[in-house]
Amino acid sequence: MAERIMDPNNIRADHLERYNFAVKKIKKLVPKPNDILDIGCGIGYGSYILHNMLNCGVDCIDKSPIAHGVFLESFSKKAPRINYLVEDFTKLEADRLQASYDAVVSFEFIEHIPPELAQDVFDLAAEKSDIFIVSSPNEYVRPHQLPPVNEFHYKHYTPVEFEAMGKQAGFTNVEFFCQTSGKHYTVRPGLEQGKFMIGVFTKANVLGRGMGTLDLQVRGHI
């Protein structure tokens, strides 16, 4: 895996917008969150956004010592409640994470890991929280093999694949959003046009906090 963002002063606007979207969504579902888990955090710019805008603790995971070094230099002193774990998420010992989190986030990550590990991301999220917000390029809109091929991506996922992994992990509901890059990067409901998709997965007990049973939303986009 490569193509990691290592310059904290050169982060794409659409990447930042995903974390801003997550902040708004988490606030709606959990008005006063205490702790968030960020899987595949890179240099931690998104964890920093979550920490500051939600005023909460953030445990973040990434196995790159280089990314961790950038985090220490750029963000750690300004974010005392971020706990950065330099770990492979598939090999984490149980006591390295809290028993539960108010929400789990994973952006710009799942497409960068071997597909056989994708379900593990969903499973870890479901084990630790009732809310999981995750992104991927939408294979239906931006096929992985369509030139120019991003050599750093293993796979782009479809909404149906996301839905299946979410259900297998134990989530019962999903709401999909889309996003483009460039100037028009605002996150929008649904799956039309946007080459990136964001899934907001929840369990049944979250119903009534701004979520509905929305998995059927996928059907019209197959």
Domains (range + CATH), the chain: 13-221 (3.40.50.150)
**Do residues 211 and 152 touch, judged by C-beta distance below 8 A?**
no
pTM, two decimal places:
0.90
- CA-to-CA distance for 107 and 109, rounded, in angstroms? 5
| pLDDT at position 201 | 97
Q: Residue 79's Cα: distance from chain center in Å?
A: 20
More confident residue, 23 or 144: 23
- In tens, the pLDDT along 44-71 reads 999 999 999 999 999 999 999 999 999 9
Strands 196-202 and 173-179 turn out to be antiparallel
More confident residue, 121 or 150: 121
**Do residues 58 and 35 touch, judged by C-beta distance below 8 A?**
yes
Torsion sign over Cα 124, 126, 128, 129:
positive
Q: Residue 80's Cα: distance from chain center in Å?
A: 22
| pLDDT at position 141 | 86
**Beta bridge partners of residue 199, listed in sequence order:** 134, 176
- Mean per-residue pLDDT over the chain, rounded: 88
The label of the residue with tokens 């996922």 reads 157
- CA-to-CA distance for 138 and 144, rounded, in angstroms? 9
- In tens, the pLDDT along 102-127 reads 999 999 999 999 999 999 999 999 99
- In tens, the pLDDT along 165-217 reads 999 999 999 999 999 877 778 999 998 778 999 999 999 988 644 444 444 44
Torsion sign over Cα 9, 125, 201, 29:
negative
